[in-house]
Amino acid sequence: MTKAEIVNEVAKATGLEKIAVQNVVESFMESVKDSLEKGNNVYLRGFGSFVVKQRAQKTARNISKNQTITIAAHKIPAFKPAKVFVDQVKKLK
């Protein structure tokens, strides 16, 4: 499902104009990104959590040049679905 499809679904369900829904969706995504950028997690009860994970430094190989490289420790955004959400998806067949 794309962002445009989400906007259409929410607009249909709420009766709001698509442009208003699009602004809300964009604002929500910006809020999540800004929060994660600051190192804060976002918790949405019944849906899941957007969290910042720390990756340790590791050694990797550049196969084309046959070189060993070091990948520095870094942080990445991640999503962890809520148990209720996972259970609903597991029931799908």
Quick check: 53 and 78 in contact, CB under 8 A? yes
* pLDDT > 90? residue 93: no
| 8-59 pLDDT per residue, tens | 999 999 999 999 999 999 999 999 999 999 999 999 999 999 999 999 999 9
What per-residue confidence (pLDDT) applies to 92? 81
What per-residue confidence (pLDDT) applies to 51? 97
Q: Where are the beta strands (DSSP E) in the chain?
A: 42-44, 48-55, 58-62, 67-71, 74-81
What per-residue confidence (pLDDT) applies to 26? 97
Q: How far is CA 37 from CA 26, 45, 81, in A?
A: 16, 21, 20
Q: Which residues make beta-bridge pairs with 76?
A: 53
Q: What is the CATH number of domain 41-93?
A: 4.10.520.10
| 69-83 pLDDT per residue, tens | 999 999 999 999 999
